[in-house]
A and B are shown apart, each in its own frame.
Chain A
Amino acid sequence: MKILIKNAHIIDPLQGIDGIGDILVEEGKIKGIEQKSRRAEEQKKTPPQPPLDKGGIKRGVDSELRTIDATGLYVLPGLIDMHTHLREPGYEYKETIKTGTAAAVKGGFTTVCAMPNTNPVNDNSSVTDFIIRKAIQEGACAVYPIGAITKGQKGEELAEMGIMYAEGCVAFSDDGNPVMNSLIMRRALEYSRAFKVPIISHCEDTNLSEGGVMNEGLLSLTLGLKGIPSEAEEIMICRDLALAELTGGKLHIAHVSTEGSVRIIREAKKRGINITAETCPHYFSITENTVEGYNTNAKVNPPLRTQKDVDAIKQGLKDGTIDVIATDHAPHHRDEKLREFDHAPSGISGLETALGLSLNLVHEDVLTMRQLVEKMAVNPANILGLNKETLKVGSDADVVIVDVNKEYKVEAEGFISKGKNTPFEGLVLKGMPVITICKGKIYE
């Protein structure tokens, strides 16, 4: 099966492509890419270039050829979500590898990284192996497991990182449970250097955030809900930065949600500390006000913050302080969210709204399309060492075709994910993936 994508606006930051062209896919790989015209402003600067890949694309009738006319559409390297909760094994009622990856593909993702807070926890190579096998059998897209930093995510004893790394884990995280013991975190950052893998830190001082269910402020007081101050996140980021500096470990800060965190990370990067950071669409799209009426679909950890935090997150994305947009896709069962706010679990089902929400940043001129591709494909691949970020000839044919102008209403009932828990119900988004191709397989 061959696929010819014609007249697309191709963006591939790695090859420096940002213009109209064609792509040929054969046997799951990119077989050819041909740029016909650059963006108008660049054309003025440089003379027309010869085709990038002469003769790569054979024209003519071919029964095995599927031609996609992508006129007016963008074609990007498949998106990579480095923060996904697939819930399998153990919580199949919330999500499975099958449904989670299908949701990913619908959202334009061709690679997801599965967080280890499953049951049992992915803290040993048997679980890692199970996830990888299951993903090969049932997954719609590529799945890379993230192993636990500590056994049982208890923060006490290092998990067998080396063995899990050999089995296929691409990073380590106790996501959901911060490693509160500074000595253990130091060891994790030190030890992981042997395998050059990142430690992904869920930054939360759980003493400071104890019992908290939303952002701390006037709204938490008037709703009578226990607040989590921004400082619970910022204090831990400061600690982890200090430990990263001490150890030279590869630190990646998960789901940045506050203005202070952005400032702290910006300063650390200026000082040359080897860190990267991610945020999630909900942290630059909505505020704590969404919680009003005790809306459990807006309960997430870290909590939704305020407008000044939203603005700072956008600025952090724009100036490169924040490297990655990840979903923190956290599906839950309907019954679990239909409860008292205190008792409902935290999390947002994010795979199917992430691209639409992130494209708002392009519409608002916060990011260019190229920067968006960097945040959602190139940078995650680089941080995790995946060769998945480009449309270069010979790469896996992981491609997403995006209509950036198509408007649609978010309807959770239509989600492929088992998790219908979204605070964006009814919101009109502009821009959606129309076709996702994973290793040459077309999903539309």
Chain B
Amino acid sequence: MKLSSKDLLGIKELTKDEIILILDTASGFKGVLKRNIKKVPALRGKTAVNLFFEPSTRTRTSFELAEKRLSLDVLNLSVTTSSVVKGESLIDTALNVQALGADFMVIRHSSSGAAHLLSKNVNASVINAGDGINEHPTQALLDAFTIKEKIGKIEGLKIAIVGDILHSRVAKSNIYLLTKFGAEVRLIGPPTLVPQELEKLGVKVFHDMDSGLDGVNVVMALRIQMERQGKGFFPSTLEYSKNWGLTSERLFKADKDAIVMHPGPINRGVEVASDVADGPRSVILEQVTNGLAVRMAVMYLLAGVRE
């Protein structure tokens, strides 16, 4: 089986079978990462360009390392969006990169649909590393990989996503993925950040932590962006953490074997208490490791589409 598109734009665009293929392939690469020599020659001679129009540390380094593990030649381009607004268009930047011989373009951009725009205008494989408030597909894939690894399945699980769903591309990608796999997805947070409209996607909306967390197998806490404060979404981070912060007391509501996830970076004491983040149920650092394997799998499979 092959993926149907040369690009990975979002989970929306993938079928369940394609997701399973990516996760299975990632298992193989995770084995590679445990070896003494962690590099494979799979994509030697090919070039990946990481186009980051938004500041990012963890996603960019994860992609870069995944690329290096696949023996790709790697180019990092960090461009602030503002300089693009002033000057060169996104398409022109991409065409220049393509002229350098890029086979992969990994793009992180503050505008939703930026990866889609790129995919229509270049021949290289475009991988969406987060576009605006639309999607962050590799994050959802690594989350799914982690859940499967820890619990063994996704189907039938109760999974709570807590926080700023409205502005979270991670949450969006996870909603699409987890509902495709038949999980019961619960979104928890203040009404200003969790639109009721999302229930049309087959998820449940909660504004109260205790009822939302009741019996869940997985809790995903999302980072609360400080810049939302003062924009009327919630009065203060203090009030936010009092109502929707994940504390060890609140975690008692969840299933006794529940795992705690977070896409990072964490605001300790705001959306998740330190003892939870560092506690025995936390799989946050394993998510980071799995991110490498998943991103290797994605690039490997996309290369297969273009062959």
A: which residues have CB within 8 A of B? 217-218, 221-226, 293-294, 335, 338-343
Shortest distance between the CB of A222 and any CB in chain B (Å): 7
Roughly how many angstroms separate A234 CA and B166 CA in the complex, as a whole number?
A: 24
The interface residues of chain B lying within 8 Å CB-to-CB of A338 are: 89, 91
- A218 to B132, Cβ gap below 8 A? no
Shortest distance between the CB of B213 and any CB in chain A (Å): 23
Which B118-164 residues have a C-beta within 8 angstroms of A?
Answer: 131-135
Roughly how many angstroms separate A226 CA and B110 CA in the complex, as a whole number?
A: 12
Q: Which residue of A lies closest to B90 (CB)?
A: A340
Q: Which residue of B lies closest to A338 (CB)?
A: B91
The interface residues of chain A lying within 8 Å CB-to-CB of B112 are: 223-225, 294, 341-342
B34 contacts partner chain A, Cβ-Cβ < 8 Å: no
Shortest distance between the CB of A216 and any CB in chain B (Å): 9
- B111 to A343, Cβ gap below 8 A? yes
B114 contacts partner chain A, Cβ-Cβ < 8 Å: yes
Choose from B89, B116, B195, B198 the contact partner of A339 (Cβ within 8 Å).
B89
The interface residues of chain A lying within 8 Å CB-to-CB of B109 are: 340
Q: Which residue of B lies closest to A336 (CB)?
A: B89
Roughly how many angstroms separate A224 CA and B172 CA in the complex, as a whole number?
A: 9
Q: Name the interface size band of chain B.
A: 20 to 34
B200 contacts partner chain A, Cβ-Cβ < 8 Å: yes
B85 contacts partner chain A, Cβ-Cβ < 8 Å: yes
- B197 to A221, Cβ gap below 8 A? yes
- B197 to A335, Cβ gap below 8 A? no
Choose from B91, B113, B133, B197 the contact partner of A294 (Cβ within 8 Å).
B113
Q: Which residue of A lies closest to B89 (CB)?
A: A339
B117 contacts partner chain A, Cβ-Cβ < 8 Å: yes
- A342 to B89, Cβ gap below 8 A? no
Given contacts A222-B172, A223-B134, A339-B90, contact A217 B113 (CB under 8 A): no
Choose from A217, A218, A224 the contact partner of B133 (Cβ within 8 Å).
A224
The interface residues of chain B lying within 8 Å CB-to-CB of A218 are: 197-198, 200-201
- A221 to B116, Cβ gap below 8 A? no
| Closest CB pairs A-B (n = 8) | A224-B134, A294-B113, A224-B112, A340-B111, A342-B111, A224-B133, A341-B113, A224-B132
B: which residues have CB within 8 A of A? 12, 85, 89-91, 109-114, 116-117, 131-135, 166, 169, 172, 195, 197-198, 200-201
The interface residues of chain B lying within 8 Å CB-to-CB of A222 are: 12, 172, 201
Roughly how many angstroms separate A343 CA and B82 CA in the complex, as a whole number?
A: 11
- A294 to B117, Cβ gap below 8 A? yes
With A221-B172, A340-B114, A341-B112 already in contact, 13 other A-B pairs whose C-beta atoms are closer than 8 Å:
A217-B197, A222-B172, A222-B201, A223-B112, A225-B134, A293-B116, A294-B117, A338-B89, A340-B109, A341-B111, A341-B117, A342-B132, A343-B85
Q: Identify 8 residue pairs between A and B in the complex whose beta-carbon atoms are under 8 Å apart, listed by A's number.
A: A224-B113, A225-B113, A225-B133, A294-B117, A335-B89, A341-B111, A343-B85, A343-B111
The interface residues of chain B lying within 8 Å CB-to-CB of A341 are: 111-113, 117
Shortest distance between the CB of A336 and any CB in chain B (Å): 10
- A224 to B12, Cβ gap below 8 A? no
Shortest distance between the CB of A345 and any CB in chain B (Å): 13
Choose from A217, A224, A226, A342 the contact partner of B169 (Cβ within 8 Å).
A224
Shortest distance between the CB of A229 and any CB in chain B (Å): 11
The interface residues of chain A lying within 8 Å CB-to-CB of B89 are: 335, 338-339
- A224 to B198, Cβ gap below 8 A? no
Roughly how many angstroms separate A363 CA and B166 CA in the complex, as a whole number?
A: 42
The interface residues of chain B lying within 8 Å CB-to-CB of A217 are: 197
Q: Which residue of B lies closest to A220 (CB)?
A: B197
Q: Which residue of A lies closest to B172 (CB)?
A: A224
Roughly how many angstroms separate A320 CA and B12 CA in the complex, as a whole number?
A: 43
Shortest distance between the CB of A17 and any CB in chain B (Å): 51
**Candidate in A222, A226, A340, A343 with the most chain B CB atoms within 10 angstroms:** A340
Choose from B117, B166, B172, B195 the contact partner of A340 (Cβ within 8 Å).
B117
Shortest distance between the CB of A431 and any CB in chain B (Å): 33
Shortest distance between the CB of A272 and any CB in chain B (Å): 38
Shortest distance between the CB of B126 and any CB in chain A (Å): 13
The interface residues of chain A lying within 8 Å CB-to-CB of B201 are: 218, 222
Shortest distance between the CB of B167 and any CB in chain A (Å): 9
The interface residues of chain B lying within 8 Å CB-to-CB of A226 are: 133
Shortest distance between the CB of B13 and any CB in chain A (Å): 11
The interface residues of chain B lying within 8 Å CB-to-CB of A294 are: 112-113, 116-117
Given contacts A294-B116, A339-B117, A343-B111, contact A224 B131 (CB under 8 A): yes
Roughly how many angstroms separate A225 CA and B169 CA in the complex, as a whole number?
A: 11
Shortest distance between the CB of B204 and any CB in chain A (Å): 16
The interface residues of chain A lying within 8 Å CB-to-CB of B85 are: 343
Shortest distance between the CB of A430 and any CB in chain B (Å): 31
**Candidate in B131, B197, B200 with the most chain A CB atoms within 10 angstroms:** B197
The interface residues of chain B lying within 8 Å CB-to-CB of A223 are: 112-113, 134
Shortest distance between the CB of B122 and any CB in chain A (Å): 13
The interface residues of chain A lying within 8 Å CB-to-CB of B114 are: 340
Shortest distance between the CB of A174 and any CB in chain B (Å): 25
Roughly how many angstroms separate A339 CA and B111 CA in the complex, as a whole number?
A: 10
Roughly how many angstroms separate A294 CA and B9 CA in the complex, as a whole number?
A: 12
Shortest distance between the CB of A309 and any CB in chain B (Å): 16
- A221 to B90, Cβ gap below 8 A? no
Roughly how many angstroms separate A430 CA and B233 CA in the complex, as a whole number?
A: 48
**Candidate in B113, B197, B200 with the most chain A CB atoms within 10 angstroms:** B113
- A221 to B111, Cβ gap below 8 A? no
**Candidate in A224, A294, A342, A343 with the most chain B CB atoms within 10 angstroms:** A224
The interface residues of chain A lying within 8 Å CB-to-CB of B200 are: 218
Shortest distance between the CB of B5 and any CB in chain A (Å): 14
Q: Which residue of A lies closest to B197 (CB)?
A: A218
The interface residues of chain A lying within 8 Å CB-to-CB of B91 are: 338-339
The interface residues of chain B lying within 8 Å CB-to-CB of A224 are: 112-113, 131-135, 169, 172
The interface residues of chain B lying within 8 Å CB-to-CB of A225 are: 112-113, 132-134
Roughly how many angstroms separate A339 CA and B110 CA in the complex, as a whole number?
A: 13
The interface residues of chain B lying within 8 Å CB-to-CB of A342 are: 110-113, 132
Q: Which residue of B lies closest to A335 (CB)?
A: B89
Roughly how many angstroms separate A217 CA and B195 CA in the complex, as a whole number?
A: 9
The interface residues of chain A lying within 8 Å CB-to-CB of B135 are: 224
The interface residues of chain B lying within 8 Å CB-to-CB of A340 are: 90, 109, 111, 113-114, 117
